[in-house]
């Protein structure tokens, strides 16, 4: 029995195809590896994205709060400057 990427240096012979694509042994291994990786990586990506969204939300709220404080302070200074 030969698998994919088998090199024949010389001689002759006959072969019978018993499986191609996902039906072959390499295809079965490929399916198992892809399933494990996708589930594991997918879980970590989703967890990271949720964490990132929460952090961005908090930073937006803090940034808005900070900007409103700066705007309020600059308004007070400008009115004091003009009123003398």
Q: What is the pLDDT of residues 61-80, one digit of tens each?
A: 999 988 888 777 766 555 55
Q: Provide the pLDDT for residue 38.
A: 63
50 vs 18, residue with greater confidence: 50
| pLDDT tens per residue across span 12-24 | 888 787 777 777 7
81 pLDDT band, cuts 50/70/90, is: low
Q: How far is CA 69 from CA 47, 53, 59, 73, 82, in A?
A: 33, 24, 15, 6, 20
Q: Indicate the domain borders of the chain.
A: 21-83
């Amino acid at each position: 029995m030969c698998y994919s990427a088998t090199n024949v240096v010389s001689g002759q012979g006959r072969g019978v195809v018993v499986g191609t694509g996902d039906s072959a042994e390499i295809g079965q291994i490929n399916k198992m590896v892809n399933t494990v990786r996708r589930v594991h990586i997918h879980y970590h990506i989703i967890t990271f994205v949720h964490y990132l969204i929460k952090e961005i939300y908090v930073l937006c709220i803090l940034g808005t709060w900070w900007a409103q404080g700066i705007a309020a302070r600059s308004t007070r200074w400008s009115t004091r400057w003009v009123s003398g």
